[in-house]
């Protein structure tokens, strides 16, 4: 069924009896041309683009839990392309362009809202750094605008401009950035991939790889063995654990990142705002909850829950720029496991094992990367060579010393 105003009216008038499950529950086959491990945003997007752009459909996405149970359903929903470096900016700008047409591509309402992001600056040197970043963005065709304090005061009168320690001098605005409903993105990709013949297999954990003479020829799973022409791994926070089964040790650490949501409040925050002197970012959901977060927890973990000291640190960041949030009550918080690469940038590449491909290292920013990551991983899997905008996201950059270090945002919390 195609979702539209007409299907909605039709169902409303006929007792809503015609809605079908959004994707099938297919039987697992013995062989697929491509097996993708991980039914998060990146795995599902890869399957969708393999089917829609590269004409492949004998594909399985194997998910150990359920669709949306990982970070794709746990993030703070921010999408943007305000990067500085050559290796990153074209990739994230490609992603933002894909976001702009995604709901039409998927025929799914993912509540994409381009309400803008403002990175606050608190000193002259930080302003200069943002001027440089804004120029780099514009050179790559992205939008960026430097806001002076007077302009920002009109947009966000609630900010604490006169804070003695971190006075707010202005901000870097990317108006095309914004938010999207995170789990709807997973559901939209799942439904659209399924419609194109992709098998989405939930409750199916990959327990091992089958490797013969240096070539990956399949996987062992909790539901049986599958042979495959190619295997793509997109398991985000579980990357080190899964790739260890293939004997590979990666420059990736897993850390918890927490998210927090307040009680519903009247609309106050116009878009996404980030603190420039600490790690704190905030937006407001359509239901009115303030959605905010900050640093990763400073120790390695595979637990999907965080600790109170980081919660306190995040709230301190919030109080520094908008003391009014001290009055709001936090209703819920949760954690997700982040695959932190050592330079804070992702990896989309072949591995030393033939026919085994890797998509990982998403750190804080994998949600906004979902469309471009899926497209570039699909490109690599289908054609065996990197997509134009992912040419620098190679695994061997750590060996060559060609790091893509945006701002020391890798796995070391003290460098953020």
Ligand X SMILES: Cc1cc2nc3c(=O)[nH]c(=O)nc-3n(C[C@H](O)[C@H](O)[C@H](O)COP(=O)(O)OP(=O)(O)OC[C@H]3O[C@@H](n4cnc5c(N)ncnc54)[C@H](O)[C@@H]3O)c2cc1C
Which chain residues interact with ligand X by CB under 6 A?
37-43, 62-65, 69-72, 74-78, 205-206, 234-238, 242, 257-259, 293, 336, 338, 362, 364-368
38 three-state secondary structure? coil
The answer to whether residues 325 and 318 touch, using CB atoms and an 8 Å cutoff, is yes
Please identify, using beta-carbon distances, which residue of 103 and 339 lies nearer to ligand X: 339
The token duo for 246 is 């293939």
Closest approach of ligand X to the CB of residue 362, in Å: 3
Closest by CA to 42, choosing from 352, 364, 354, 348, is: 348
DSSP state string for 103-145: HHHHTS----B---EEEEE-SHHHHHHHHHHHHHHHHTT---E
Residue 160 CA to residue 320 CA, distance in Å, equals: 7
Pairing verdict, β 272-274 and 117-121: parallel
Please identify, using beta-carbon distances, which residue of 41 and 188 lies nearer to ligand X: 41
Pairing verdict, β 206-212 and 117-121: unpaired
202: left (phi over 0), alpha (psi -120 to 50) or beta: beta
Please identify, using beta-carbon distances, which residue of 69 and 107 lies nearer to ligand X: 69
The answer to whether residues 169 and 149 touch, using CB atoms and an 8 Å cutoff, is yes
Closest approach of ligand X to the CB of residue 406, in Å: 13
The token duo for 372 is 């471009």
Closest approach of ligand X to the CB of residue 18, in Å: 30
Closest approach of ligand X to the CB of residue 143, in Å: 18
Q: In angstroms, what CA-CA distances link 32 with 122, 229, 359, 406, 409?
A: 53, 7, 19, 38, 37
Please identify, using beta-carbon distances, which residue of 217 and 272 lies nearer to ligand X: 272
Please identify, using beta-carbon distances, which residue of 236 and 358 lies nearer to ligand X: 236
Please identify, using beta-carbon distances, which residue of 148 and 305 lies nearer to ligand X: 305
Closest approach of ligand X to the CB of residue 259, in Å: 4
Please identify, using beta-carbon distances, which residue of 91 and 364 lies nearer to ligand X: 364
Please identify, using beta-carbon distances, which residue of 258 and 301 lies nearer to ligand X: 258
37 three-state secondary structure? strand
Residue 411 CA to residue 345 CA, distance in Å, equals: 10
Closest approach of ligand X to the CB of residue 353, in Å: 16
Closest approach of ligand X to the CB of residue 25, in Å: 16
Please identify, using beta-carbon distances, which residue of 195 and 283 lies nearer to ligand X: 283
Closest approach of ligand X to the CB of residue 214, in Å: 22
Closest approach of ligand X to the CB of residue 78, in Å: 3
Closest approach of ligand X to the CB of residue 284, in Å: 13
Question: CB-hemisphere CA count at 13 Å for 285?
Answer: 17
DSSP state string for 250-276: -SEEEEEEEEEEEEE--S---SEEE-S
* Alpha-carbon dihedral angle through residues 297, 396, 406, 36, given to the nearest 10 degrees: -60
Closest approach of ligand X to the CB of residue 138, in Å: 21
Residue 101 CA to residue 112 CA, distance in Å, equals: 10
Please count the helices (runs of H) and the strands (runs of E) in the chain. Answer: 10, 18
356 three-state secondary structure? strand
* Alpha-carbon dihedral angle through residues 239, 244, 250, 256, given to the nearest 10 degrees: 40
Please identify, using beta-carbon distances, which residue of 136 and 204 lies nearer to ligand X: 204
> What sign does the CA torsion over 367, 110, 172, 258 have?
negative
Please identify, using beta-carbon distances, which residue of 226 and 382 lies nearer to ligand X: 226
């Amino acid at each position: 069924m195609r979702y539209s105003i007409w299907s909605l009216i039709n169902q409303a008038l006929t007792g809503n009896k015609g809605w079908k499950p959004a994707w099938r529950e297919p039987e697992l086959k013995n062989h697929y041309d491509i097996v993708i491990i991980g039914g998060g945003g990146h795995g599902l997007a890869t399957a969708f683009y393999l089917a829609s752009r590269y004409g492949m459909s004998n594909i399985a996405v194997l998910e150990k839990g359920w669709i949306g149970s990982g970070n794709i359903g746990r993030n703070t929903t921010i999408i943007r392309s305000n990067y500085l470096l050559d290796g990153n900016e074209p990739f994230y700008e490609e992603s933002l362009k894909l976001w702009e047409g995604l709901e039409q591509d998927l025929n799914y309402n993912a509540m994409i809202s381009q309400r803008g992001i403002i990175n606050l600056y608190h000193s002259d040197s930080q302003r200069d750094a943002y001027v440089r970043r804004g120029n780099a963005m514009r050179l790559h065709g992205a939008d960026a605008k430097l806001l002076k304090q007077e302009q920002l005061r009109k947009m966000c009168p609630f900010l604490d401009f006169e804070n003695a320690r971190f006075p707010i001098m202005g901000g870097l605005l990317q108006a095309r950035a914004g938010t999207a409903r995170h789990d709807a993105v997973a559901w939209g990709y799942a439904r659209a991939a399924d419609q194109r013949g992709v098998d989405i297999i939930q409750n199916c954990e990959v327990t091992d790889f089958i490797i013969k003479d240096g070539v990956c020829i399949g996987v062992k799973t909790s539901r049986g063995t599958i042979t495959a022409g190619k295997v793509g791994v997109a398991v985000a926070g579980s990357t080190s654990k899964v790739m260890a089964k293939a004997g590979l040790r990666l420059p990736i650490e897993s850390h918890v990142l927490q998210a927090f949501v307040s009680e519903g409040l009247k609309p106050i925050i116009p878009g996404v705002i980030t603190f420039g002197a600490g790690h704190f970012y905030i937006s407001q959901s359509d239901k009115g909850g303030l959605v905010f977060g900050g640093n990763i927890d400073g120790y390695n973990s595979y637990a999907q829950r965080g600790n109170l000291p980081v919660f306190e640190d995040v709230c301190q960041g919030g109080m520094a720029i908008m003391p009014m949030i001290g009055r709001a009550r936090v209703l819920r918080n949760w954690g997700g496991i982040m695959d932190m690469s050592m330079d804070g940038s992702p990896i989309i590449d072949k591995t030393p094992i033939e026919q085994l491909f890797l998509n990982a290292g998403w750190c804080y920013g994998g949600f906004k990367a979902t469309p471009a990551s899926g497209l570039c991983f699909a490109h690599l899997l289908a054609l065996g060579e990197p997509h134009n905008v992912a040419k620098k996201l190679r695994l061997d950059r750590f060996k060559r010393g060609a790091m893509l270090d945006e701002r020391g945002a890798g796995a070391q919390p003290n460098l953020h």
